[in-house]
Amino acid sequence: MKSGFVSIIGRPNVGKSTLLNGIIGEKIAIVTDKPQTTRNRIQGIYNSKAGQIIFVDTPGVHKPKHLLGEYMAQVFSRTVNETDIIYYVIDVTRSLGNGEKFILEILRKAKVPVFLIMNKIDLAEPAHIEELLKEYRGFMNFAEVHPVAAALGLNTDLVLEKTFAYLPEGPKYYPEENISDQSVSFLVSELIREKALLLTHDEVPHSLAVGIEDFTRRENDKLYVRAVIYTERGSQKGIIIGKNGSMLKKIGEQSRADIEQLMDCPVYLDLWVKEKHNWRDNSEYLSRMGYRI
């Protein structure tokens, strides 16, 4: 049996979380059209007859602007050197810019196989994809190159097949029923944060955090979740709540549906909004939220 660790890296918003969720078959990483929404090093666990792959979904690479950004950058740096294979995910609708060149310089020093995952091929012409591949190959040699459409599940099976070919023989690191090493309460907090980001579109930046204050089973096996959405400014708090609480109600309804699907039980979601000024630069608060620098 084969087993090992695979890191998924790339610029913000190229489809890393979509790829991970598609492979695992469950939503364990949030997906929005806003960059830098992945903050923790989320591990997804894939099991098959061939073995077990532990995937590490990293934050998108960007220049840090606050303590949270520094944490995310450190997560990326550590991950590159701690896994057996690297998936370098790019968006084929974007040109090869300075951000990609920065990542390529790091990857050229990697001591493990690097797979170039060319995502969103359904949105680009074949001739453009071929030309882009030539540009990337001009910077380094990749162990594998795979054009995929992660949102559609296109070609991801072949990526997995090739991944097992490179992994060493080894044990299962996690029980077969596990899909992530993250706590269930963390996954729930991420589902709520996803809905808040999606429903507010460009009105609220990604400077939102969600804290779980209560997570208990109650009568009739119903799960009670008390969660707080933290914003950095009062104006953001008002947008999250909405007129007469309309936006908060929408966030709660959509979040509860996803939580019930994840937990396979009825859920009572008690959702609140609080302002926490400049929380991304507060080291004590970041630590309490699980971002340990």
- Domain CATH code at residue 231: 3.30.300.20
- Has residue 176 been placed in a domain? no
What local confidence, expressed as pLDDT, does residue 287 receive? 60
Same domain, 142 and 190: no
Q: Which residues pair with 116 in a beta bridge?
A: 88, 145
Q: Mean of the pLDDT values across residues 200-219?
A: 78
Same domain, 46 and 128: yes
Report the alpha-carbon angle 130-135-141, nearest 5. Answer: 100
Give the end of a domain, one of 97, 132, 166.
166
Q: Which of 103, 49, 95 is nearest to 79 (CA)?
A: 103
E strands, the chain, are 2-9, 42-48, 51-57, 85-91, 114-119, 144-147, 209-217, 223-231, 267-275
Same domain, 137 and 6: yes
Same domain, 44 and 151: yes
The answer, yes or no, to whether residue 5 has pLDDT greater than 60, is yes
Q: Which residue has tokens 């009572």? A: 268
Provide the pairing of β-strand 144-147 with 209-217: unpaired
The residue with greater pLDDT, 239 or 285, is: 239
Mean pLDDT taken over the chain? 83
Question: How far is it, in rounded angstroms, from Cα 13 to Cα 147?
Answer: 17
What's the gap between Cα 127 and its chain centre? 30
Same domain, 190 and 162: no
The answer, yes or no, to whether residue 175 has pLDDT greater than 60, is yes
The answer, yes or no, to whether residue 123 has pLDDT greater than 60, is yes
The size of the chain, in residues, is: 293
Q: Mean of the pLDDT values across residues 234-248?
A: 90
Same domain, 112 and 199: no
Same domain, 62 and 19: yes
Same domain, 270 and 131: no
Domain enclosing residue 197, as ranges: 184-288
Q: How many CB atoms lie within 10 A of CB 64?
A: 12
Give how many domains the chain has, as a whole number. 2
